[in-house]
Amino acid sequence: MLQRISLTQFLIGEQRAGRVSADLRLLLEVVARAVKAISVTISKGALAGVLGEAGTENVQGEAQKKLDVIANEILLQANEWGGHLAAMASEEVENVCQIPFDYPKGGYLLLFDPLDGSSNIDVNVTVGTIFSVLKNPAKKDADPVEADFLQPGREQVAAGYAAYGPSTQLVLTVGKGTHAFTLDREMGFFVLTHPYMTVPDETREYAINASNERYWEAPVQRYISELRQGKEGPRGADFNMRWIASMVADVHRVLTRGGIFMYPLDEKTRAKGGKLRLMYEANPMAMLIEQAGGAATTGRQRILDVQPQKLHQRVPVILGSRAEVERVTSYHNV
Ligand code: P6P
């Protein structure tokens, strides 16, 4: 029987190899415990009265689901007291979330989308938590400000997501490969089940919200048209389409069996810079995909090289199988 290791054993190994500090290991263990609590809450669904609207809006002006608020509270409360963080940032909170004054501060910044794809909650479709870890550039005991978070994605020291699906999986990189851990609910901990995930260079599967076609820029319209023409078209092959409308679920499929995931710039989202958020959606996903051998661009530049201007800024996202991402990116440069 394959001797599987726990997340804790994996992180201790990464610490011994000098890839993570004791504080970063603690941080990731605390995040793992928080996503376990979120998983338990989600799995109760209607039985726990956690479905439906919260009756509030988030900083994005989007109606919050009850579980958006619950997941956000779980992550904030789990991480604020441990002494490993200097501050946090959440999709659900406009400003920087400071560590309460009676708790010690540490050297890391944690950013997260506590429950991505929450519009799928009420129809029982996979949703997830996405997180990103940066080093705190500010002086140790000073309260970090928004500018301290505005680091390019290549500065991330860790990134990951939890996918709350048929099983709950935690997908993580600390800079040496992308690895998936499956929650063993009976034992109560995550087990390494998919070490060194790799995204195949080639794919025959694409993910995009095709209802936006008339709003896309010409390079994307060209690229998708070629895929749709199949064997008779310039690609000489048939392609399949998937769109779950839950980034974690769509990206997890790409990580697991290849594909290209696209939320490109379109006329509907141009004024806002795109649909998906850079700091706690695009950047962590881009790091995970690149660590698995894939590529991630805005269509015009590598996502991990984007210099953030605002905490909640949005970017176009094209990520997955390298050959396809490079092709559609090249169409933007003709
Ligand atoms: P659309 C979910 O709201 C989300 O932020 C991502 O998880 C997902 O990929 C995208 O929006 C879906 O957007 O326009 O298809 O509803």
Tell me whether residue 46 is in a domain: yes
Q: How many domains does the chain have?
A: 2
Residues contacting residue 33 through CB under 8 Å, at least 6 positions apart: 78
Which DSSP string corresponds to 142-157? SPP-HHHH---GGG-S
Tell me whether residue 81 is in a domain: yes
Q: Are residues 34 and 94 in the same domain?
A: yes
Q: Tokens representing 189? A: 């901990």
Rounded to the nearest angstrom, the distance between the alpha carbon of 210 and the centre of ligand 1 is 12
Which CATH number is 215's domain given?
Answer: 3.40.190.80
What is the per-residue pLDDT for 59? 76
Rounded to the nearest angstrom, the distance between the alpha carbon of 33 and the centre of ligand 1 is 26
Q: Are residues 40 and 183 in the same domain?
A: yes
CA dist 151 and 164 (Å) reads: 29
User: Is residue 264 in contact with ligand 1, taking CB distance under 6 Å?
Assistant: no
Q: Are residues 139 and 51 in the same domain?
A: yes
Tell me whether residue 172 is in a domain: yes
Residues contacting residue 72 through CB under 8 Å, at least 6 positions apart: 90, 92, 93, 114, 115
CA dist 333 and 72 (Å) reads: 39
State pLDDT tens for residues 82-94.
999 999 999 999 9
111: nearest Cα among 101, 127, 97, 126:
97
Q: Are residues 175 and 233 in the same domain?
A: no
pLDDT tens, the chain, 334 aa long: 567 899 999 999 999 999 999 999 999 999 999 999 999 999 998 888 878 888 888 877 888 888 999 999 999 999 999 999 999 999 999 999 999 999 999 999 999 999 999 889 889 999 999 999 999 998 887 899 999 999 999 999 999 999 999 999 999 999 999 999 999 999 999 999 999 999 999 999 999 999 999 999 999 999 999 999 999 999 999 999 999 999 999 999 999 999 999 999 999 999 999 999 999 999 999 999 999 999 999 999 999 999 999 999 999 999 999 999 999 999 999 8
Residue 222: enclosing H or E segment and its boundaries?
A: helix 218-229
Tell me whether residue 315 is in a domain: yes
Q: Are residues 96 and 130 in the same domain?
A: yes
Rounded to the nearest angstrom, the distance between the alpha carbon of 251 and the centre of ligand 1 is 12
State pLDDT tens for residues 86-137.
999 999 999 999 999 999 999 999 999 999 998 898 899 999 999 999 999 9
Rounded to the nearest angstrom, the distance between the alpha carbon of 250 and the centre of ligand 1 is 10
CA dist 17 and 49 (Å) reads: 45
User: Is residue 119 in contact with ligand 1, taking CB distance under 6 Å?
Assistant: yes
User: Is residue 269 in contact with ligand 1, taking CB distance under 6 Å?
Assistant: no
Q: Are residues 257 and 116 in the same domain?
A: no
What is the per-residue pLDDT for 141? 79
The residue whose CA has the least distance to atom 9 of ligand 1 is 247
Q: Domain containing 168: what range?
A: 7-194
Tell me whether residue 2 is in a domain: no
In ligand 1, the atom with minimum distance to the C-alpha of 62 is 3
Q: Are residues 219 and 171 in the same domain?
A: no
Tell me whether residue 1 is in a domain: no
Tell me whether residue 34 is in a domain: yes
User: Is residue 247 in contact with ligand 1, taking CB distance under 6 Å?
Assistant: yes
What is the per-residue pLDDT for 56? 87
Q: Are residues 177 and 259 in the same domain?
A: no
